[in-house]
Amino acid sequence: MSGTGGGSSTGEPAVDRQGRDLPLDAHVHKDQSPDSNVPIDVYAALALERGITELAITDHVDFDRRDPAYDYVAFSERERTVRAAAERWAPLGVQIRFGAELTYHRAWESDVRDHVRRHRYDYTIGSVHDWPDSPYTRGRVGAWASGRPIDEVVAPYFNEVVAAARSGLFDTIGHLDVVKRYLFPHVTPGELARHPEALDGALKAIAESGVALEINTSGLRHRVRETYPATWALVRYRELGGHNVIAGSDAHRSEWLAWGLEDGYRVLLEVGFASLAFRRGTETVQVEVPDRLRLPSVASARA
Ligand SMILES: [Zn+2]
Ligand SMILES: [Zn+2]
């Protein structure tokens, strides 16, 4: 299998890395996220053109006032925008779900709980980011990573992921090991892969809680050059009994919609997940991975 050992998950890049004919891109940011200026109709038109039949719009919601998506766009305004677009595009063949990517930390868990109690989303991703007081901010991460064992370096991050999984607040845990992005190049994906035990607690908590684990393909275009999480972590998740998975591109620009997503689906198949399985609000959803992806890609045929 390509990608085990922490290198690139996909081998050589294909010419067109933006996916086509896929059933779902479940992680998309538009212009109601502070870090995107893409109108929803641009994504929807692209999805239609490329045969991506379902999008989950997951604009950021932050809970620490120092973070950019704190109080950024009111829930009602986001809901109105996404639901109106969903009505416009459903007859054309693109399903649009109203979701959010909620930044999690135990410090503000009660605020997240309050938020999801008061507001009904179709779909929620809980993500741990480099919170303002974390050791992973640009000014601190170099000193934090130097001279410490890797397990200790990543522990503050994964402790929050464990708590996010156990909180029961989310449908999905987003970009599980994105801490490797913050740590790069002080700790490389290869070094992290040599310490799989560092992720075990988080993978166990996700498998046990039943929250879905996202394969997020944005890492393929970041310097880490592998998905979040890495293939080996998905293998371990499956060994631990995890069966709920979902895939998203984490697009913030139109050219990133479904970017690397076909590779993401292919990795899921290689690991043994023939379908996406996740919770969407109160329903349990299963989405088959397209059969054509069973054929080896040019890149993995070469590997
Ligand atoms: Zn995120
Ligand atoms: Zn995101």
**pLDDT (tens digit, 9 = 90+) per residue, 108-157?**
999 999 999 999 999 999 999 999 999 999 999 999 999 999 999 999 99
Q: Which ligand is nearest to the CA of 29?
A: 2
What distance in angstroms lies between residue 216's CA and the mean position of ligand 1's atoms? 9
What distance in angstroms lies between residue 127's CA and the mean position of ligand 1's atoms? 6
What's the token pair of residue 122?
Answer: 């179709």
Distance of alpha carbon 36 from alpha carbon 57, whole angstroms: 12
Straight-line distance from the first to the last Cα atom of the chain, in angstroms, rounded to the nearest whole number? 8
Q: Is 295 helix (H, G, I), strand (E, B) or coil?
A: coil
The β-bridge partners of 52 are 22
What distance in angstroms lies between residue 301's CA and the mean position of ligand 1's atoms? 32
Q: With 50 as the cut, is the pLDDT of residue 4 above it? A: no
In a domain, 232, yes or no: yes
Separation of CA 166 from chain center = 18
Q: With 70 as the cut, is the pLDDT of residue 11 above it? A: no
What distance in angstroms lies between residue 58's CA and the mean position of ligand 2's atoms? 7
Specify the pLDDT at position 300.
Answer: 52
Q: Which ligand is nearest to the CA of 35?
A: 2
Distance of alpha carbon 246 from alpha carbon 265, whole angstroms: 9
What distance in angstroms lies between residue 126's CA and the mean position of ligand 1's atoms? 8
What distance in angstroms lies between residue 28's CA and the mean position of ligand 2's atoms? 7
What distance in angstroms lies between residue 165's CA and the mean position of ligand 2's atoms? 17
pLDDT in tens, 212-234: 999 999 999 999 999 999 999 99
What distance in angstroms lies between residue 129's CA and the mean position of ligand 1's atoms? 6
What distance in angstroms lies between residue 266's CA and the mean position of ligand 2's atoms? 21
Number of domains in the chain: 1
CATH number, domain of 57, equals 3.20.20.140
In a domain, 95, yes or no: yes
Residue type at position 156:
P
In a domain, 3, yes or no: no
Q: Which ligand is nearest to the CA of 36?
A: 2
- Which H or E run contains 85? helix 75-89
What distance in angstroms lies between residue 101's CA and the mean position of ligand 2's atoms? 6
58-91 per-residue burial string, b: 16 or more CB within 10 A, e: under 16: bbbbbbbeebebeeebeeeebbebbeebbeebee
pLDDT band at 303 (very low <50, low <70, confident <90, very high): very low
What distance in angstroms lies between residue 271's CA and the mean position of ligand 2's atoms? 24
Q: Which ligand is nearest to the CA of 28?
A: 2
In a domain, 10, yes or no: no
Asked if residues 234 and 213 have their Cβ atoms less than 8 Å apart, the reply is: yes
Q: Which ligand is nearest to the CA of 252?
A: 2
What distance in angstroms lies between residue 287's CA and the mean position of ligand 2's atoms? 21
**Cβ neighbourhood burial of 234 (10 Å; 0-12, 13-18, 19+):** buried
Query: What range defines the domain where residue 189 resides?
Result: 25-302
Edge-to-edge strand order for the sheet containing 172-173? 25-28, 54-61, 95-103, 123-127, 172-173, 212-216, 245-248
Distance of alpha carbon 101 from alpha carbon 246, whole angstroms: 14
What distance in angstroms lies between residue 302's CA and the mean position of ligand 1's atoms? 32
pLDDT band at 3 (very low <50, low <70, confident <90, very high): very low
In a domain, 8, yes or no: no
pLDDT in tens, 32-72: 999 999 999 999 999 999 999 999 999 999 999 999 999 99
**Backbone φ, ψ for residue 38 (5° rounding):** -90, 120
Specify the pLDDT at position 282.
Answer: 86
Q: Which ligand is nearest to the CA of 182?
A: 1
Q: Which ligand is nearest to the CA of 174?
A: 1
Q: Which ligand is nearest to the CA of 128?
A: 1
Question: What does the pLDDT average to over 236-260?
Answer: 98
In a domain, 11, yes or no: no
What distance in angstroms lies between residue 253's CA and the mean position of ligand 2's atoms? 11
